[in-house]
Amino acid sequence: MIPYGKQHISEQDIAAVTAALQHDFLTQGPKIAEFEEKFAQYVGAKYAVALANGTAALHLCALALNVNEKSRVITTPITFAASANCVLYCGGKVEFVDIDPKTALIDLEKVENLLQANPKGTFSGIIPVDFMGLPVNLEKVRTLADEYGLWIIEDACHAPGGYFIDSKGEKQTCGNGNYADLAIFSFHPVKHIACGEGGMITTNRKDLYDKLQLLRTHGITKNPDLLQENHGGWYYEMQTLGYNYRLPDILAALGVSQLERADEGLEKRQEIATRYDAAFKNSKVCFFQYPKEKIKHAYHLYVIQVEDRKGLYDYLRTHQIFAQVHYIPVHTLPYYQSLGYQKGTLPRAESYYQTCLSLPMYPTLTEAEQDFVIEKVLEFCG
Ligand SMILES: *Cc1c(COP(=O)(O)O)cnc(C)c1O
């Protein structure tokens, strides 16, 4: 069986987890800080906060940025529901903006039109998603955000190690915090770095970093510098309403070990994408092209577009190839429909959904398996 995505657990990973099991701390131990430090360094951000999963990371980002009943937040419909749900958790409203069909990323021209058409202050933030691993041009998003007073949460779950080159010629790694206020990552097994469950927020803003640390553990602090009173060594204060969104030390140990192979995995993904591109070049199979000198695609997903998508999906399954569809547009999901979002309102996202299919893409996918996938896709598409 060939799935669309799969983790790679090495002997080194197993040894790291075994060692963590023998430490004094199964959670809240030293591996958390080590993972945070190394991950922050990997993406080039000042601070990182490890969390239970990517969804918890999104939730805390929304809380830290004070999303509430009055907030209206812009995002893309072509993403995992969690990118939008975090706004709803805090009582806010989501405004979906259609995609650019050339990239399947949120269309920044449409974002600008929306902002222009409404009084300033209508929207409080934007959540761009580096969908598939293709980095959003956050420099452009920042310009709009500054003009209209928005914060930015970059959903970089698909893009650890990806980057774009900005107008000054500088490399901007996803999650580096130079343009976005906060960025989030997931360590679900299908993502680049697997912890089982896990997430990370990265930022360059100390004020948000402090808030996030408090929110992660019930809003409780024991830090003597922050306490309002101090009754003794046992004393703690709950200063805000927080959650238990911690990542256990055992999983952080796995994360540290996986991170060491992140670049290797990224290169493997690039190689697979290059082979797929070459194979589909002169066929009816459409794939996304991008300027390679300006963008490093992290290839969480390799998405093709074909007319008879369901036919191809079913055909591949009969050959034990489990392709997947990313994503059903969020605004068309039954829960969002029940909130009043309507089908037909975002035609590009909806038509993209009719044709898209994610082919197997993970570092341990062998050349023979790649060839088999290519053969079966071309066989079906004629
Ligand atoms: C995986 C993912 C999430 C959620 O991460 P979890 O760790 O599964 O909670 C959010 N956004 C995107 C784009 C994702 O791919």
pLDDT band at 82 (very low <50, low <70, confident <90, very high): very high
- Determine the pLDDT at residue 284: 95
Rounded-to-integer distance, Cα 355 and Cα 305, Å: 5
* Atom 6 of ligand 1, residue of closest alpha carbon: 54
| pLDDT at residue 272, as a whole number | 98
Q: What is the mean pLDDT of residues 130-150?
A: 98
CA distance 243 to 53: 13
**What pLDDT, on the 0 to 100 scale, is given for residue 172?**
98
Residue with CA nearest ligand 1 atom 7: 54
- Please tell me the residue having the least CA distance from ligand 1 atom 4: 54
pLDDT, residue 31, reads 95
pLDDT recorded at residue 28: 84
Q: Could you tell me which CATH number the domain at 2-97+106-259 has?
A: 3.40.640.10
Rounded (10°) angle between helices 11-21 and 249-259: 150
Distance 232 CA to ligand 1 centre (A): 41
CA of 55 to the centre of ligand 1 (A): 6
- With beta carbons less than 8 A apart as the criterion, state whether 151 and 289 touch: no
Q: Quick check: 27 pLDDT over 90?
A: no
For 337-377, the pLDDT digits (tens) are 999 999 999 999 999 999 999 999 999 999 999 999 999 99
Q: Report how far ligand 1's centroid is from the alpha carbon of 188 (Å).
A: 8
Mutate to test the pocket of ligand 1, among 186, 300, 324, 358 (most ligand atoms within 8 A of CB): 186
Q: Which protein residues touch ligand 1 with a CB less than 6 Å away?
A: 53-55, 79-80, 82-83, 129, 155, 157-158, 186, 188, 199
The arithmetic mean of pLDDT across residues 214-234, rounded, is: 95
The whole-number pLDDT of residue 332 equals 98
Average the pLDDT over 147-157 and give the result: 98
Separation CA 95–CA 110 (nearest Å): 12
Outline where the chain has alpha helix (H): 11-21, 30-43, 54-64, 82-89, 108-116, 138-148, 206-216, 249-259, 262-280, 309-318, 334-338, 347-355, 367-381
pLDDT higher than 80, residue 382: no
Position in ligand 1 atom list of the atom nearest CA 131? 13
- Cα–Cα distances (Å) from 172 to 88, 108, 330, 364, in that order, read 30, 18, 28, 28
Overall pTM > 0.85: yes
The ligand 1 atom nearest the CA atom of 83: 11
Examine the pLDDT at 152 and tell me if it is beyond 80.
yes
pLDDT at residue 153 tops 80: yes
The class that CATH gives domain 262-381 is alpha beta
**Rg, Å, the chain Cα set:** 21
Arithmetic mean of pLDDT over the chain: 97
pLDDT, tens digit (0-9, with 9 covering 90-100), for 44-66: 999 999 999 999 999 999 999 99
Q: What does the domain layout of the chain look like in residue ranges?
A: 2-97+106-259, 262-381
Of 4, 51, 53, 55, the residue with max ligand 1 atoms within 8 A of its CB, to mutate for a pocket test, comes to 55
